Amino acid sequence: MLKKQYQDIIPQTSATFRESKIGVVVGLFNRELTESLEKKCIATLKNAGISEDSITVAHVPGAFEIPLACQRLAQTKKYNALIALGVIIKGDTYHFELIANECARGVMDVMLKHDAPIVFEVLAGSREDMEKRCGDDEYNKGIEAANVALLLLKELPNLL
């Protein structure tokens, strides 16, 4: 399902993305939430015409391991885009900030080092906020991640 802000800029024909290969890295910590992100993301990619065989899903223990998995996938040069999905719940200690910040920095480093587009939807916040963003509706951030990847597939080839 394309969100309204993407409907005019992302082609809705399956032929546009037929040859695209997407890697999706999913943190398993808070699995009851990341599973929803993963399912909605994959469904959105498939609805756009990307075949299941062209989508590779890599599961890692948690958000801290996401950059390494993205790096491994980027090194293969087989993927047109990568998507990082995870959920970090804010607790009472500084650990939340450490994991969130280092995950974001690590994914950015991989993206720039390998010149590989990586959509970053590693969510961080309160459990209540995360449940809203991982719900079974059109506001699920897995849908957003897939739409951003599709937009990147369409627009990046046109950049210098």
**Is residue 72 marked as binding?**
no
Alpha-carbon gap, residue 140 to 56, rounded angstroms = 20
**Is residue 10 marked as binding?**
no
Q: Is 95 a catalytic residue?
A: yes
Q: Which of 18, 95, 105, 127 is catalytic?
A: 95
Distance of CA 19 to the CA centre of its chain: 19
**Is residue 15 marked as binding?**
no
**Is residue 55 marked as binding?**
no
Alpha-carbon gap, residue 81 to 41, rounded angstroms = 13
**Is residue 120 marked as binding?**
yes
Q: What share of the chain is helix, strand, coil (3-state, %, to 5)?
A: 55, 20, 30
Count CB-CB contacts under 10 A for residue 87: 28
**Is residue 76 marked as binding?**
no
Q: With the C-alpha atoms ordered 126, 129, 135, 138, is the resulting torsion angle positive or negative? A: negative
**Is residue 93 marked as binding?**
yes
- Could you list the residues known to form a binding site, using ranges: 29, 63-65, 87-89, 92-93, 120, 133
Please state the residue numbers annotated as binding site for (2S)-2-hydroxy-3-oxobutyl phosphate: 92-93, 133
Q: Mark the binding-site residues for 5-amino-6-(D-ribitylamino)uracil, compressed into ranges.
A: 29, 63-65, 87-89, 120
Residues designated catalytic:
95
